[in-house]
Structure formats: structure tokens, C-alpha cells
Chains A and B, each alone.
Chain A
Amino acid sequence: MLTKRIIACLDMDDGRVVKGVQFVNLRDAGDPAECAAAHARDGADEIVLLDITATSDNRRTMLDVVSRTARCLFIPFTVGGGIRELADAEAVFEAGADKIAINSAAVKDSTLIGKIAARFGSQAVVVAIDAKRVSGGLGGFEVFVAGGRTPTGRDAILWAREAAACGAGEIMLTSMDRDGTKAGFDCELTQLVADAVSIPVIASGGAGSARDFIEVFQSGRADAALAASIFHFGLENIGQLKLELRAANVPVRWPC
């Protein structure tokens, strides 16, 4: 049976793993390669490394960190942040990533999705969407870019559908309202996107307890759920989390 994936996310700033609350107030949590290896041993199904300040600071993803992290990591490894063109993606794959995540650059030019997919396959292209609740039009959720700093005026559900049509292999969907709050995933947002596309949806933002993961898999219909801070600071062990998911009849990779 296909299992629900638990993805550990490493938000990186200047070569170190950090975690903020609602995209600001960064706290140091360690070396990316060490954190990735520890999460893999702990039972993470996948690792995502995001160079969170790459776009805003106008610099390239730190390829040496990617390479060092990838060397002994034998589970899927996604890298995002600062990928603006095909050449950037090529460099990140060359350094050892299995998938790349693109966000701002894909919103700016959706043909980038197809260009990377044509060269590396759709399975290697994750489109990351940062969405925020808005009142009034836009179907309730607006896309933000540049690390959550810039509103785009675009509807998140429509953008997810367009990204999938352009050749994205997965959607990584972050609720900016929940990010870092530990108040639970945004199940409504997740379900709207999961129902709108036929590709897997990774829910992100707000993980605080095992209950949150159970809800986003069951009512949010997420294929995978991603968390950062709760794993880094030892507030939840991934093995323990998987035991609780199993008890709630959520299929997970076990033993891991």
C-alpha cells in the first residue's frame, strides 16, 4: 500500500539550518548535512532543503552544502531556493539533489517548469506555493513569492492547477498563516488543492502534533506532510509520530 510521507524540511540561511515563525525571527538549529542524516535515521521519508533567503538576497543556492548533504543521504532529497533558470536547476541536480523546488521563478515564468521537466523529468520538479488567506475574491487564498514577502494577486488553487499542467511532478503547499505557529496544517487549503490536481500534494506549515498530521492526511487529503521546527528541536520524534499515525490507520513506512 502506498504510504503517506513524512518530510523533514531544513530551512537554511547562510549555510545553517534555521527556523522562523511566519517566515521571520530565525533561530539556529544546526548543520544541514548532520540534520538531514539524523532525520533519515529517525525515519523521515524524504528531506527538503530550502535556502530560504536565496531569492530575497539575490544569491544562488549554496551548492557545496547541497553536495555535502547529498553524499550519504539515500532517501529522496529536494532542494529549493534561488533557482531562477534551467542552469540553476542543472547545478543543483549536479550537486546531488533528486528534485528541485521552484517558487518565485515559476510564478514569474511558468514555462520554466516545463523546461526543467523536459530535461530531468516531471518527477524532479516540485512547485512550491506559499499561500495566504485573503478576504473577498481570489477563491480565498493568494499566492505570495520571495519568501512570503511579495503578494502576486494570483489565486493559489488556480496556480496549482496551472503548475501541474505545465509539468510539475508535485505541489509543495505552505500555509503562510500557519507556518511556524504549531496550530495545525490548513486542511481546507490542502484539500482544495489536492482535489484540484492529480499530482501529489505536500502539506506544509503549522505542524505541531501527531493529531495535526492525522488530520491533514485524513481530511486534508495530503499525500505527504512536511515539518521543520518540531523535528529540529526534538519536540516530536518521527518514529513516535509514525506509531501514532499507524494507530489512527494512516498508512506509513514502518519499520523505518
Chain B
Amino acid sequence: MIGSSMRAPTIAIVDYGAGNLNSVKKAFDYLGADVVLTTQPEAVAAADKIVLPGVGHFSALGALDNTGLRDAVLQGASAGKPFLGICLGMQWLFEGSDEAPEFAGAGIFAGRCRPFPSSVKSPHVGWNSLAVREGSRLLRNVAPESFVYYTHSFQAPVVAATTAATEYGTQFSAVVEQENIFGVQFHPEKSWTVGLLMLKNFWEI
């Protein structure tokens, strides 16, 4: 017990074979965190914190189901380990997405991810501002109207767990958090010092 409590917490970044996850690892490396990029459910189970990144198409998340990673992630999350979903990894926390209706999300938050209204260009690419609700742990010391970098075509609804929202054709969830579960739609690893601060906050939870 003493040994494990003195060990620096490890962060497992779940690599399910979709896209390029190096930049998330690089950001944690820069902060000095003990971080591993892994395809193994055992390594996810052994870690103290779990990060589920993701870029691209919602169907890529189907690989979680086939590899045993889904169970490893859900067990870790229900055991109270701090969990951070980034972009697709955040959308996965909802019930599903119109982008790939055949794949189920984790269903931790109610609602589905939908495309943007036709009044705006899609994808939503670039720096947009947050409207931050007080009391967020992930956004501790983050200025209330900070800008973060987005690139996505589908958006998650604003729910009770939403701690920051962004406006683009509609209001959508920028940040969700509930106990040990956190999700961000934008890319903190690409959002300059503001993003690094959020990753540091997660690391220190």
C-alpha cells in the first residue's frame, strides 16, 4: 500500500488504432507525467488514470469493442479512476452519434451527438471560446472565456454535467464532468497554455 501510494500516478492513453495520438502523449510528457500509449487492456487496467483520445470517424471507436479495451476502460471508470475523453473520446461518453448509429457509446451522459445545423460550415475548425461554469475541476484557474482549438463535425448536447459550452450554430458541450469522468470536445494538447493547464489539472486530480 505504502509503495503504491508513493509511486507517481501513471496515465494510460488508450490507442485503439485510430489516427495519430502522439500529440496527446507529447503534451503529458512535457508536463512531466508518467504516461504510456497502449493498445493493451492490461496496461489500461494497471494505470491510475485513463485518457481516451480520438480523431476522425465515430466508427473508429468500434475497435474498442473488439479488443477488450472497452471493458478495461469502463471498469477503470466505474472503479473511480480519473478518466478523460478527448474529442471522439468525449463523444463516446454519450449514448451514441448520428455519424455511426450502429456503434453504442458508453451512455454515461444522456443524449446523442449530432451534426451542426446547416447554417454554419462543417467541420468546425479553429479556435473558439468557452463559456465556463463555476466549480469545474478540470478548468481550475482557466480564464472564463478562454479560447481552445476544435476540429470536429459532430457535437454533443449540453447536459447537466456540462461545465463549459461553446457556440457554433448551436450551443454544444465543450467540457463535461461528473465525479471522476471528464470529457473535452476540443484538443487541449493543441490549445497552447490553456490546454496544457487543463491536462495538468487532470494529472493532479
Contact = CB atoms under 8 A, between A and B. Distances in A.
Given A72-B30, A74-B196, A121-B55, A3 B22 contact: no
Interface string B174-200: 000000000000000111110110000
Interface string B106-134: 00000000000000011111111100000
A256 B195 CA distance: 12
B123 A3 contact: no
B125 A223 contact: yes
Interface residues of B, number: 33
A123 B151 contact: yes
Nearest to B122: A198
Contacts of A170: 125
B31 to A, nearest CB: 10
A96 B26 contact: yes
Contact of A1 (B55, B129, B190, B192): B129
Contact of B126 (A2, A40, A198): A2
Given A2-B126, A2-B128, A198-B121, A40 B151 contact: no
Contact of B123 (A74, A76, A123, A256): A123
A2 B193 CA distance: 19
A223 B167 contact: no
Interface of B: 18-20, 22-23, 26-27, 30, 55-57, 121-129, 147, 149, 151-152, 167-168, 189-193, 195-196
30 contacts: A1-B128, A1-B129, A2-B127, A3-B126, A3-B147, A4-B126, A70-B23, A72-B30, A74-B190, A74-B193, A75-B191, A93-B22, A94-B20, A94-B22, A96-B22, A96-B26, A98-B190, A120-B20, A120-B56, A121-B19, A122-B123, A124-B56, A169-B123, A198-B122, A199-B125, A200-B126, A223-B121, A223-B126, A224-B126, A254-B147
